[in-house]
Amino acid sequence: MKTTRSLTGLAVAAGVLALAPVVASGTAQAATGAASTASTASTASTASAASASAASPAAAARRWGPYAASGNRAKASGTLTAAPKDDPAAPAPYVRVKGSITDLTRSASSCGRAVFRISTFDSGNQPHLSYRDYRICSYGKPLGFAFTEQNVGEVELKVCAESKTAKPSTTCLYSGTWKSLYAYYE
């Protein structure tokens, strides 16, 4: 258990270090932007909003999966659509994830679960982690899901098969590897 926690700590530290250049570049951009006039800023924000809305239809869905839990007791697959962006060092304006999770355990007390770890950035360009999980406890019947997040840096997935609980277990969250579905720097 101590090894798992140590590895988790190293993974979190690596993630923070990977996001540090984005935060630093965002701070430099904010300082430069503060020196500009209000009319220039409003014109730039209007232009960027117009280009983002014009570019949105061009975003193509990319398939991911199927990813399976250990022992092939659950599987998940779907599509991910990331908004196109001009700056590869900036997070995506939005990411839309659609998919399904299927429980392949025959036990009534076991469920298949898809857990997503999403790294987003707030208006101050500070990174935040959030989680979304989807659970299905009916053998062989897929559960569809869809969600959209804004200012996304990374989307990761873990598929687990475990007992019927309200939240994912610590074993599900911290053992094994997260599958990267999207990273802003790709």
Mean pLDDT by 10 residues, the chain (186 residues): 48 48 44 36 37 53 96 97 91 96 94 97 94 97 97 97 95 95 88
Cα(112)–Cα(164) distance, integer angstroms: 9
**Whole-number Cα distances in Å, 80 to 53, 75, 129, 180:** 18, 16, 18, 11
What pLDDT is attached to residue 146?
Answer: 98
Cross-strand pairs, 130? 118
**Whole-number Cα distances in Å, 24 to 14, 16, 31, 126:** 16, 12, 11, 10
What pLDDT is attached to residue 185?
Answer: 84
Joined together, the tokens standing for residue 114 give 């898809």
- CA nearest 165: which of 99, 107, 113, 119? 113
Q: Where along the chain do its domains lie?
A: 2-183
What pLDDT is attached to residue 34?
Answer: 36
